[in-house]
Chain A
C-alpha cells in the first residue's frame, strides 16, 4: 500500500464511492471494472487470479484489500501499445492498405483469446467502427484509435 501514490488512493476511494457500499467495499464481481475505471487493463485471467468472482454477492473487497491488487496489476507490463496492435492486424491486411475484412476481426474477437459474445461485439462495432464498405472491409487503424481514445475517467 505504501507504493500507491496518495492521489491514486483518492481516485480509488472515489471509484469505491460510486461502485460500492460504504463500509463493505465493492463486490468482487466488479473488481475488473473497478481496475479498468482506474485506467488499468487487466485480462480476465488476471482478474480471476487477483480474486475477482463471477457471481454477485459471493465476496466483497474492501479498500485496504484492493490497494495491493491495484498496485500489482499496475505493474503488469503487457499493456501493449498501439503499434504492436496495428502490426498484428496487418496480418489480415492483404492489400496492405490499412483495411481488413470486418468479418475476420469479428471472428477473431468471438473465437480467440478471452472471447467476447455476440452482443458485446455488436456494441463494440456500433460505438467504434465505421460501417464496412462494399467489400466488407474496414479501416482498422481508426477503429483502434477510437477504442483507445475513450475519455479517461481519471488522469
Chain B
C-alpha cells in the first residue's frame, strides 16, 4: 500500500477512526487498486453526446491534487483519487450512477418547487378573493350613490364626523390585567423609543396604559395633519435612505430591521410604505412604534398610507379584534383616534423628485398633481365614500386614491381593472413607461404584494416591490426585505426571516410541509363557504351515488363553485386524501371541510357581513346616502332600493324580503319611515338572527352526520390532525438578533 494512502495514515496516525478498509489487507484498499493500474490512464467522462471521451490528463501532481481536495471544506477525510486508474467500465458505471442520482435529485427538487409554487398560489388567490369581498363594498357604495342621484348632488351630511376625535376627549377607563410601567411625555424622544421597544418586545406586560396610547395617537394625528399629501423625501443630507414595505403587525420583523439597520436619524431616514396592521398579532405595537419613531425623529421618518390603514379592512382582517382584545374597555375610543391618524396619513412619497413610493401602484389615469391637491382628510376609510360637507362627490378623485392604494403590476401590456382584488387596476409595462415619462420619474417603489424573497423587480426594473413581513402566510413561507438606496438611488436589499431559530433545524421538506398545511387550512376554510353548493354539484355528476366522480369533473366543480383559479389537479391528492389515481372520492373532500379543525377555523374568522355590520360608520353612511334630503328619516321605498343593491353586491346575504321584514318590524310608529337608530337596530337584529341561524346550522351538522357518510375516512382524519397540529411560531420575547439576514447587494 502506498505510504501516502489515506487508509494507512488513518490507521497509523493516532486518533483517527478505523475505517472498514483494514490496514492488513492491502489488496482490498481501493486506492491501492487505483495506483496499481497506473497513473498513465487518462480521466474519462461522458460527453454531451453520451459517449465516453477523454479529458486532458490532469497536470497536477498527486500531491497537489491531494491538497486541493483537502481544502475543499474538509469533508474529504478519506478521498479517493478521482477516476485516475480505474478501469473504463467502472468509470462508466460510476458516472452513470452519479448522473442517475443527480437526475433524480433534480426531479425531487423540481417537485418541491412545484409544491412551493402551488402553495403560494393558494395563499395568494385566497387572500385576494377575500379582499375582493371588501372591494365589493366600494362598488356597492358607488352604485348606491349612482342610484340615489340626490345624494351625489346634495352631498353627504355628516358634519359630526368631521369634528374629529381630536377635539372631543373621551373618558378612559381602567383596564384589568398587566400594564407596562412606563411613562411617556410629550415630546417623544429617543429614550422613550428605547423604552417602548423594551416593553413591546416582551411576551407579557407589553401593554401601554391607554392614556399613553391616546397620547401617541393624538400627537401623531396633530402632526400628520400639517403634512402634504405626498412626502418630499431627499437624500441630500443623509446620502442614503431605507425603505420598508408591508409589516402587517409583525413586530419581530420591524425590530429586526431596526436592529440591523439602526434607528432613524438625520443620516438614516426611513420610509414605511403602508400596511402596518392586520393579520399579524402585534399590529397595535407596530403602529404605535412607527408613530413614536415619527414623533421622535420627525424629519427622518416618512409614513405612507396603505390599503389596510382603513377601518373597514381592519374589521375584516383582525386589527379591530386585536384592539378590542387588548383594550376591552377603551377600544371604541382608541379606534376612533386611530381613524384620525389614518385619514391624515400621507398617500405616498417622492424621493429626490425622481422616485415615487406608494403602497399599491398607479393606473393610466393617475395624476400626481391631482393627488397633491385633494383634501385627503375626507377619506377616513377609502372603502366608504368621502365626507362631503355639502360638496358633490367626485368619483374620479375617489378612484385616483383607489388606484394608488390597490393596484398591482402585471407582466402583459395594458391597464385593466384588477378583477382579482376587486379594486384598483393591473398596470402593464407600457402604463409604467408612460406614467414615468409623464411625471418625469425614474422608477416606482411599491409594496402590497407578498414576494418569496421580500422583493421583486418588474417592468424592466422600473417597478420594485418591497415587502417586509417575513413568514407572512406561514412559518417559512417567505423572507422579508428592506431596501437601501444610496445617493444615486441605486437599490440594495437585505433579506431576512425573523425567529429564525425556530425554523433553522427544519429540513426543506419539513418547512414545505408546514407551509402546505397552513395553505390547505386557508383553502379549506374558504371552501366551507360553498360547502353545500359543492355537495350539490358533486352529486349531480354521481348519479349512482357511488361517492366517486372522475378527476376532470371534480376539478371542474371545484373551480366553477369556488372560482379561485387554482391548479386543482395538483391539489387533488390533498383535498381528497387517500383517493386512487382514476377517480376522486368527493365524500372525502366534503368530510375534510366538516372536520373540527376547519369548522373551528371558520368560526374564528370574520365574514364580510360581520365586517359590515360591525362597522357602524358604514351603516351610518348608507343611511345618510339614502336619506338624501337629510330629514333624519328614510322611507321604506328608499330603503328597498338600497337593499336591492346590497343584495346584488354582497354574497351570502339573506333575502331582500327578510331585510325588509326586519325594517318593517322596526317601524315602531308605523308611519312607513325609519330613522337612523331604527335602521341600525334593524341591521343589528338581522345580524343577530343570521348568527343564530349559523350556530343552529353548525349544531345540526355535528349531531346528525350527513346521509352519505357516517365516519370520515382515516386519511381525512389524518390530514385534519396534521393541520390542527401544524407548527406555529412559539410566542416568546422578541429577539431581533434571531434572524437569518442576508445582504443581496445590488440588483440580483
Question: Residues of A with Cβ closer than 8 Å to B?
Answer: 10-11, 14-15, 17-19, 21, 23-24, 32-37, 40-45, 80, 84-85, 87-89, 91, 94-95, 101, 103-109, 111-116, 118, 120, 123-124, 126-128, 134-137, 144, 147-148, 150-155
A41-B103 contact, Cβ under 8 Å, with A95-B20, A155-B581: yes
A10-B77 contact, Cβ under 8 Å, with A88-B100, A123-B508, A124-B108: no
10 nearest CB pairs, A to B: A88-B97, A36-B110, A112-B98, A113-B99, A113-B98, A33-B110, A155-B581, A36-B107, A126-B507, A37-B114
Q: Smallest Cβ distance from B3 to chain A, in angstroms? A: 21
Please pick, from B19, B104, B568, the residue contacting A136 in the complex, using a CB distance under 8 A: B19
Q: Smallest Cβ distance from A86 to chain B, in angstroms? A: 9
Please pick, from B78, B109, B411, the residue contacting A21 in the complex, using a CB distance under 8 A: B411
B88-96, B183-191, B690-698: which lies at the interface: B88-96
**B101 on interface, CB distance cutoff 8 Å:** yes
Please pick, from A10, A42, A101, A104, the residue contacting B569 in the complex, using a CB distance under 8 A: A10
Whether B48 contacts A33 by the Cβ 8 Å rule is no
A33-B114 contact, Cβ under 8 Å, with A21-B411, A112-B94: yes
Whether A45 contacts B93 by the Cβ 8 Å rule is no
Contact with A along B62-106 (1 / 0, CB 8 A): 000000000001011111101100000010011111111111111
Please pick, from B78, B98, B101, the residue contacting A103 in the complex, using a CB distance under 8 A: B78
| Subset of 29 A-B contacts with CB under 8 Å | A18-B121, A21-B411, A33-B114, A36-B110, A43-B102, A43-B103, A44-B106, A80-B96, A85-B100, A88-B100, A89-B97, A91-B90, A94-B20, A94-B28, A103-B75, A107-B76, A108-B101, A109-B98, A113-B95, A115-B98, A124-B105, A126-B507, A128-B108, A134-B17, A135-B18, A135-B20, A147-B101, A147-B104, A154-B569
A80-B20 contact, Cβ under 8 Å, with A24-B412, A36-B110, A126-B508: no
Q: Smallest Cβ distance from B280 to chain A, in angstroms? A: 28
Q: How far is the CA of A35 from the CA of B110 in the complex (A)?
A: 9
Q: From B101, which residue of chain A is reached at the shortest CB distance?
A: A109
Q: Smallest Cβ distance from A21 to chain B, in angstroms? A: 5
Q: How far is the CA of A146 from the CA of B200 in the complex (A)?
A: 46
Whether A111 contacts B82 by the Cβ 8 Å rule is yes
Q: From B99, which residue of chain A is reached at the shortest CB distance?
A: A113
Q: How far is the CA of A152 from the CA of B573 in the complex (A)?
A: 10
Besides A37-B113, A85-B101, 9 other A-B contacts (C-beta < 8 A): A19-B117, A41-B107, A113-B46, A116-B105, A123-B109, A126-B508, A135-B18, A137-B20, A154-B569
Whether A114 contacts B99 by the Cβ 8 Å rule is yes
Q: How far is the CA of A128 from the CA of B82 in the complex (A)?
A: 25
Question: Residues of B with Cβ closer than 8 Å to A?
Answer: 17-21, 28, 30, 45-46, 48, 73, 75-80, 82-83, 90, 93-111, 113-115, 117-118, 121, 411-412, 507-509, 552, 567-570, 573, 581
Q: Smallest Cβ distance from B432 to chain A, in angstroms? A: 16
Whether A107 contacts B573 by the Cβ 8 Å rule is no
- Give the residues in chain B near A18, CB-CB below 8 Å: 114, 117-118, 121, 567, 570
Q: How far is the CA of A101 from the CA of B10 in the complex (A)?
A: 15
Q: Smallest Cβ distance from B734 to chain A, in angstroms? A: 28
Whether A43 contacts B99 by the Cβ 8 Å rule is yes
Please pick, from A108, A127, A153, the residue contacting B97 in the complex, using a CB distance under 8 A: A108
A80-B114 contact, Cβ under 8 Å, with A14-B567, A45-B48, A107-B79: no
- A contact face: mostly helix, strand, loop, or mixed: helix
Whether B82 contacts A107 by the Cβ 8 Å rule is yes
Q: How far is the CA of A95 from the CA of B28 in the complex (A)?
A: 10
Whether B507 contacts A120 by the Cβ 8 Å rule is no
- Give the residues in chain B near A87, CB-CB below 8 Å: 93
- Give the residues in chain B near A33, CB-CB below 8 Å: 109-110, 113-114
- B contact face: mostly helix, strand, loop, or mixed: helix
Whether B508 contacts A114 by the Cβ 8 Å rule is no
- Give the residues in chain A near B96, CB-CB below 8 Å: 80, 84, 88, 113
Q: How far is the CA of A121 from the CA of B102 in the complex (A)?
A: 9
Please pick, from B94, B98, B412, the residue contacting A23 in the complex, using a CB distance under 8 A: B412
- Give the residues in chain A near B99, CB-CB below 8 Å: 43, 112-114
Whether A150 contacts B111 by the Cβ 8 Å rule is yes
- Give the residues in chain B near A14, CB-CB below 8 Å: 567-570
A135-B19 contact, Cβ under 8 Å, with A10-B552, A14-B567, A41-B104: yes
- Give the residues in chain B near A113, CB-CB below 8 Å: 45-46, 95-96, 98-99, 102
Q: How far is the CA of A37 from the CA of B259 in the complex (A)?
A: 41
Give the interface centre of A19, A42, A152 by most chain B CB atoms within 10 Å.
A19
Whether A103 contacts B77 by the Cβ 8 Å rule is yes
Q: How far is the CA of A32 from the CA of B96 in the complex (A)?
A: 19
Q: How far is the CA of A115 from the CA of B615 in the complex (A)?
A: 60
Q: How far is the CA of A128 from the CA of B491 in the complex (A)?
A: 39
Whether A147 contacts B106 by the Cβ 8 Å rule is no
Q: From B48, which residue of chain A is reached at the shortest CB distance?
A: A45
Whether A32 contacts B111 by the Cβ 8 Å rule is no
Q: From B73, which residue of chain A is reached at the shortest CB distance?
A: A118
Q: How far is the CA of A91 from the CA of B552 in the complex (A)?
A: 47
Q: Smallest Cβ distance from B654 to chain A, in angstroms? A: 36
Whether A135 contacts B17 by the Cβ 8 Å rule is yes
Whether B73 contacts A21 by the Cβ 8 Å rule is no
- Give the residues in chain A near B103, CB-CB below 8 Å: 41-43, 80, 114
Whether A32 contacts B80 by the Cβ 8 Å rule is no
- Give the residues in chain A near B20, CB-CB below 8 Å: 94-95, 135, 137
Whether B104 contacts A127 by the Cβ 8 Å rule is no
Please pick, from A106, A135, A148, A153, the residue contacting B75 in the complex, using a CB distance under 8 A: A106
Whether A127 contacts B107 by the Cβ 8 Å rule is no
- Give the residues in chain B near A45, CB-CB below 8 Å: 48
Q: How far is the CA of A123 from the CA of B106 in the complex (A)?
A: 11
Whether B93 contacts A91 by the Cβ 8 Å rule is yes
Q: How far is the CA of A40 from the CA of B111 in the complex (A)?
A: 11
Q: How far is the CA of A71 from the CA of B5 in the complex (A)?
A: 49
Q: How far is the CA of A43 from the CA of B107 in the complex (A)?
A: 10
A136-B17 contact, Cβ under 8 Å, with A36-B106, A126-B507: yes
Q: From A88, which residue of chain B is reached at the shortest CB distance?
A: B97
- Give the residues in chain B near A112, CB-CB below 8 Å: 45, 82-83, 94-95, 98-99
- Give the residues in chain A near B111, CB-CB below 8 Å: 36-37, 150-153
Q: How far is the CA of A26 from the CA of B90 in the complex (A)?
A: 40
Q: Smallest Cβ distance from A147 to chain B, in angstroms? A: 5
Q: How far is the CA of A136 from the CA of B7 in the complex (A)?
A: 14
Whether A32 contacts B73 by the Cβ 8 Å rule is no
Q: From A45, which residue of chain B is reached at the shortest CB distance?
A: B48
Q: Smallest Cβ distance from B70 to chain A, in angstroms? A: 13
Q: From A128, which residue of chain B is reached at the shortest CB distance?
A: B108
Q: How far is the CA of A41 from the CA of B111 in the complex (A)?
A: 11
Q: From A37, which residue of chain B is reached at the shortest CB distance?
A: B114
Q: From B92, which residue of chain A is reached at the shortest CB distance?
A: A88
Q: How far is the CA of A95 from the CA of B20 in the complex (A)?
A: 8
Give the interface centre of B73, B411, B570 by most chain A CB atoms within 10 Å.
B570
